[in-house]
Structure 1
Amino acid sequence: MDVESGHLVPRAHELLGRTDRPGFTGELQQSVVESNSGVHDTLDGLWKDLASSRRRLDTAATALGLAVVAAGTVPLADVASQHVTADPRYRRMADDYRRLSDEQLICSAQIHVDVPDRDTAVRAMCLVSPWLPPLLALSASSPFWLGSDTGYASWRSMLWQRWPTAGPAGCHRDAADYDRSLAELIRSGVISDAGMIYHDIRPSAHQSTLELRICDACPRVETVALVAGLFRALVHQARERLERADGPLCDGRHDWLRAATWRAARSGLEGHLVDPVTRRAAPAPAVLTGMLARLRPALEATGDWESVHALLEEALAVGTAAHRLRRATRTDDLLAGVDLMAAETRGERRTPRPAARSRRPAARPDTLGAHPHADRSAAATPSS
């Protein structure tokens, strides 16, 4: 984003030109940079990798009068149709999806976890899916859109749901069944390739992994590590259940998941979630602590119990990035919120300042084993 105005700007190409490119690439919109970690089997290794790559990106941005923010949305942005990256696939998407691609000013955190084969990925996907809304709640970082408070903790997920293949993945018997469903979608002409399967979770098309896609990009690297640890434990637990199973493990009823995802997007950690066990409303801390207890054996098996336990306690204590961003804007203004998100992305910890700032955006309303890897973070945005 531009430092002076606080607005998202289409300068990813310039930013990428100042980085040593491995690990960074462009995206559909020229205001977004994708950052990819290496493969790690410890959360500490993942944390260090992401923190280092964000520092590198921030250094390159600073030289251009920019800063980077890893968040689902940023408070100040303008929708335009001419800022699509010059790539044939992206150009086709812009032509086919029009306003959807114009408003793709959003970013997510995506985590891959190793699985032995594609059949396991598809079967585990069904068992893991009910637990994805709590992970979205943990990551929620997008309460503002185009200068206004949406009332949601994750407005990114609401924008994302408009794509034709977004949302819950559903259940499939095996990889062949899943691939037939995918092929039907491609033949329909609604999507052009397997990369446009935008379900909340999916088997990777290129790696032997199960990929989590429901989460907002997270300003704090600690949140990415927490989500990665929980997701790996969910996959580990699902694999164990599949190995022991002598019959169906899922009733195939995932129609409630879209509603549960909406609930998580609306309230984050600051309201109620749909408990995946009872399928009834329950306070978010109760759902997350219950999830942690359920996953303890898997977390101990992966060596993540102590780290994830401590990270979850902290997350419940400080609230979501959406909560912290709102608090900063109430205390000061939208630019203070932008500064906070940029600082957290760099690895700093800040609290909102009590005094109002003098600079404000012009003509804008003041209300925007198993190896977890890959942080699709947000891009060019300003900091004071």
Structure 2
Amino acid sequence: MTARIGVEEEFHVVEVESGLLVPRADAVLRELDSEVFTTELQQTIVETNSGVHGCLDDLYRDVVGTRRRLDAAAAGHGLAVAAAGTVPLGSTAAARNTGGHRYERMVEEYRKVADEQLICGAHVHVDVPDRDLAVRIMCEVSPWLHVLLALSASSPFWLGDDTGYASWRTMVWQRWPTAGPAGCFADAAAYDAAVRDLVGSGVISDPGMVYYDIRPSAHQETLELRICDSCPRAETVVLVAALFRALVADARHRLAGPGAHGCDGRHEWLRAAAWRAARSGLEGALVDPGTRREASAAQVVRALLERVRPQLRAAGDWQTVRALAEQALSEGTAACRMRRTAEEEGLRACTDLVVAETRGDRSGDRRPAASAPPAPPGG
């Protein structure tokens, strides 16, 4: 049976006229359903939660519909939303704590790390009801997660400057004490003991602050992917979700076989691979998980497709995922599109591009306006 998937997306709130990041999430959220739309640490960000779906087309329609509702609510206040790891015209002056005991404690404890949390990610949940199995799967799939980061890379700019990275969000995110590779655990009890130790150390205040690239959800029977940037195009969200679900299914199959679990305990290269993906996106080399050597992005992405082809076929996702992956390799990352637009037209036009792609507009008119959603990935 194909596992169900859902996504959480974070969006920057920007002013339509200036393109500047603004702390006005509350104004947007007052217009929306609190079960689907919610706050984050900073008032510059709105988070959305999709439904749970077995079919990629259903997930896509959900994501597009949610984005359109969010866009409409923002437009009523002269605002727009941008799905990207960072926005070109961000400023730390826009930082404003959402409030509440937990967030206020984080701001006090982590200071500039929290103040500069002006970044947005896309998280994917895949159903894994057996928590022991979910924890074992983490180690099995971790070598491939940097490839999903590369596909999602959408944050070349930070506070008005070109960073030289495809995902500067990754660099900002990794300043948190628990961000990065998860490591290996024999079962859920071992994982939970490690989390208790982290909380007991006083470095984090609760299990929700375990910010590993992948983790078992504390509240749902899912495995959660957390490494990716927010994606301007909804199709990229679907591509990442489908590949992650296929990796989880592949890991389940491998762990059920003879001599299962071939982890050698060598995890130091995972952080290096994530750095390489954040630096290059799809526009340079990546680390090949099979050889742990440098290889072209196209070679590594196609190796991932080949690895999970049986699972994609079983879910009915192969044609859609292959087409979306080849399109990504051909057109490049969102970071590449953003950088090209900024070079040709400036950072303001780059912001318009991200807002338009978030809304689903490919017409070339990048100013915020209503438009019909694109056709679903599968049809």
Give yes or no for TM over 0.5.
yes
1: distance between equivalents of 2:33 and 2:266? 46
Alignment of 1:1-384 (within 5 A): 1-80=14-93, 83-350=96-363
- RMSD over aligned CA atoms reads 1.4
Deviation at 1:28, TM superposition (A): 0.2
Deviation at 1:351, TM superposition (A): 5.3
**2:10 corresponding residue in structure 1:** none
Deviations 1:148-188 (A, max 9, x none): 00000000000000000000000111111111111100000
Deviations 1:35-76 (A, max 9, x none): 100000011111000000000000011111110001000011
Helix, strand or coil for the counterpart of 2:44?
Answer: coil
**2:377 corresponding residue in structure 1:** none
1: distance between equivalents of 2:242 and 2:49? 17
1: distance between equivalents of 2:190 and 2:69? 42
**1:367 corresponding residue in structure 2:** none
**1:361 corresponding residue in structure 2:** none
Deviation at 1:82, TM superposition (A): 6.1
Deviation at 1:317, TM superposition (A): 1.1
> 8 Å contact 2:21–2:94 — kept in the other structure?
no
2: distance between equivalents of 1:338 and 1:111? 25
User: TM-score normalised to the size of structure 2?
Assistant: 0.91
The one-letter amino acid of 1:262's match is: W
2: distance between equivalents of 1:4 and 1:298? 46
> 8 Å contact 1:51–1:221 — kept in the other structure?
yes
Deviation at 1:320, TM superposition (A): 0.4
2: distance between equivalents of 1:312 and 1:228? 12
Helix, strand or coil for the counterpart of 1:168?
Answer: coil
> 8 Å contact 2:44–2:94 — kept in the other structure?
no
Helix, strand or coil for the counterpart of 1:252?
Answer: coil
Give runs of ≥4 in structure 1 deviating > 4 Å. 350-353
Helix, strand or coil for the counterpart of 2:84?
Answer: coil
1: distance between equivalents of 2:209 and 2:298? 34
Deviation at 1:20, TM superposition (A): 3.0
Helix, strand or coil for the counterpart of 1:190?
Answer: coil
1: distance between equivalents of 2:58 and 2:325? 18
The one-letter amino acid of 2:156's match is: P
> 8 Å contact 2:95–2:116 — kept in the other structure?
no
- Indicate how the Cα distance of structure 1 residues 130 and 352 shifts in structure 2: closer, same or farther if over 3 A, else same: farther
Structure 1 gap ranges (5+): 358-384
User: TM-score normalised to the size of structure 1?
Assistant: 0.90
The one-letter amino acid of 1:27's match is: E
How many residues are paired up? 354
Helix, strand or coil for the counterpart of 2:308?
Answer: helix
Deviations 1:195-228 (A, max 9, x none): 0000000011011111000000000000000000
2: distance between equivalents of 1:189 and 1:89? 14
> 8 Å contact 2:276–2:287 — kept in the other structure?
yes
Percent of residue pairs bearing the same amino acid type: 64
2: distance between equivalents of 1:5 and 1:235? 42
- Indicate how the Cα distance of structure 1 residues 246 and 35 shifts in structure 2: closer, same or farther if over 3 A, else same: same
